Amino acid sequence: MESLEKQNRQSLLKLEAVAPEVYLALQELKRTGWVMRGVENPESVKEHTEALLALAEELSGLLTEEEKEGLMDMLEVHDWPEAIHGDEVILELRPDERKTLKDIKFENEKRAMEMLTKDLPNGAKLMALWLRHENSGDPAAVFGRQLDKYQALEKSLDYEQQQGIALFEEFLLYSINFIHHPVLLERIEQLKLRWKTRYNI
């Protein structure tokens, strides 16, 4: 028998039939960070979401119940605003400037999410999930945001090995500012070992 969490997520996924334009836009929208760095055939935003869901499923046995509660649903909708707003990348690490840029991005994406959900079944629930992922300090939201950063780091190593573009070290130096969960830190050590083995470091 399927878990209640999986049944709930499937009910959310059925919205693909209700809002196909969102899914089509996210499937066609290539992740900006990879495009900027010249990656050939980079993942789309929808493929990024699918990768996050797969990672969350894989790691679920290592997470607390609080870290799992609502995680899959939040990951499912966290990039929906990009269907309208696009995939904006903020690389600024100075806290004051980063906060200003993130505040502007948040307001733009909030407006986009409101437009996308206002006429959808369970639109209020979807909006609440997105806001929870963006703003909440609860364990599932905190882990979800760190998992988002981790997936990009993992993908950077894949692209570096496949296409010979130096990406992993840059993403590693960036990611360590935001990833603190022990499960993800352990996986980062495994990625570093893969990277060092490749270059005989």
Q: Note the pLDDT tens digit of each residue in 32-47.
A: 999 999 999 999 999 9
d(CA 189, CA 201): 14
pTM for the model stands at: 0.88
DSSP-assigned letter for residue 109 = H
pLDDT at 122: 83
d(CA 161, CA 164): 6
**30 - beta bridge partners?**
44
Q: 134-138: which pairs have CB atoms within 8 A and are 24 or more residues apart?
A: 134/78, 134/106, 134/109, 138/66, 138/69
Q: Are 134 and 106 in contact (CB under 8 A)?
A: yes
pLDDT digits (tens, 9 = 90+) for 116-131: 899 887 889 999 999 9
Which whole number is the average pLDDT over 16-20?
67
Architecture of domain 4-150: Orthogonal Bundle (1.10)
Which whole number is the average pLDDT over 2-24?
59
End-to-end CA distance of the chain: 47
φ, ψ for residue 176 (rounded to 5)? Answer: -65, -15
pLDDT at 17: 62
Q: Which amino acid is at 156?
A: S
Mean pLDDT across the chain: 88
pLDDT at 124: 92
Say what percent of the chain tops pLDDT 70.
89
Q: Are 32 and 87 in contact (CB under 8 A)?
A: yes
Q: How would you write 155-183 as a 3-class SS string?
A: HHHHHHHHHCCCCHHHHHHHHCCCCCCHH
Quickly state the pLDDT bin for 2 (edges 50, 70, 90).
very low
Distances (CA, A) of 2 to 54, 148, 169: 16, 26, 40
Instruction: Name which of 27-36, 93-102, 104-113, 170-179 the model is least confident about.
Output: 93-102
